[in-house]
Amino acid sequence: MIKVKVCGVTTYENALMVAQCGVDLLGLNFYKPSPRSINPEDARYLCSQLRAVMGASCPVLVGVFVNDSVDEVAHILRYVGLDFAQLSGDESAAMVAELRGRAFKAIRPMDESVALDDAAYYAPYFPQNDHIPSLLIDAYHPGLYGGTGEGASQTVAQTVKAQVPRMMLAGGLKPENVGERVRAIQPWGVDTASGVEDGIPGIKSEAKVKAFVTAAKSIEVAGD
Ligand SMILES: O=C(O)c1ccccc1N[C@@H]1O[C@H](COP(=O)(O)O)[C@@H](O)[C@H]1O
């Protein structure tokens, strides 16, 4: 069944609600300019409480980073108690390699040709762990690294999907459109940040998260 990631939770209570809606991966954002950013101390508390309460059903906990160094990412992963890192900036393939299977890359290709180049460039360092995507594809934006609410091109996503074992689709996904996007693109997983909020970045709506999970998981994906 398709994997669902909800990204950019900022409080323990809201994260617990999202986790109890049945998401597979939960994202915490460490990019300070993001309206969904969380500081490492609050994130550490959130993760330890969530693991204590959820036990084995705790979602995979992912930190989102933009252009931090390997040392900074590795330190935050350890200090906060995260499982994996999502690299949403301009990080090199060498940086993904240095994180030794603990990181996956998010790309925002402008067109099909850039998408194919990006997929080939990162392919040697795709993580092998099947709890996380090999690669995440988000909408192109000239000035922002994510959380824009804009959709990724369907053709670009389909092109990347054909090259990648586990592609996670992001960008403008919400309860109203996720089913149709899953049916058309057949990704391994879907990710949403702004699409399950009620206008307050970093605080997710229970009704929207539930509707998103139900809509995404009700579509049959090839290989299920
Ligand atoms: O959510 C953010 O603010 C953000 C900022 C910088 C990098 C990544 C960010 N979030 C990622 O953006 C995509 C899609 O967001 P949306 O659903 O279109 O709002 C998602 O991958 C988040 O992980």
37 lines ligand 1 (CB under 6 A): no
Provide φ and ψ at 168, rounded to 5°: -100, 130
Rounded to the nearest integer, the mean pLDDT of the chain is 96
pLDDT, one tens digit per residue, over 7-56 is 999 999 999 999 999 999 999 999 999 999 999 999 999 999 999 999 99
34 lines ligand 1 (CB under 6 A): yes
Hey, which bits of the chain come out as E strands? Answer: 3-7, 25-29, 60-65, 84-87, 103-107, 135-137, 167-169, 189-192
- Domains of the chain in start order, with CATH, are 3-217 (3.20.20.70)
Instruction: State the ipTM, two decimals.
Output: 0.97
pLDDT, one tens digit per residue, over 49-100 is 999 999 999 999 999 999 999 999 999 999 999 999 999 999 999 999 999 9
Please identify, by atom number, the ligand 1 atom nearest to the C-alpha of residue 172.
18
Query: Minimal CA–CA distance to 20: which of 210, 218, 214, 220?
Result: 210
* The model's pTM: 0.96
pLDDT, one tens digit per residue, over 190-212 is 999 999 999 999 999 999 999 99
Query: Minimal CA–CA distance to 61: which of 164, 132, 153?
Result: 132
125 lines ligand 1 (CB under 6 A): no
pLDDT, one tens digit per residue, over 139-174 is 999 889 988 999 999 999 999 999 999 999 999 999
Query: Minimal CA–CA distance to 147: which of 89, 99, 72, 187?
Result: 89
pLDDT at 224 over 80: no
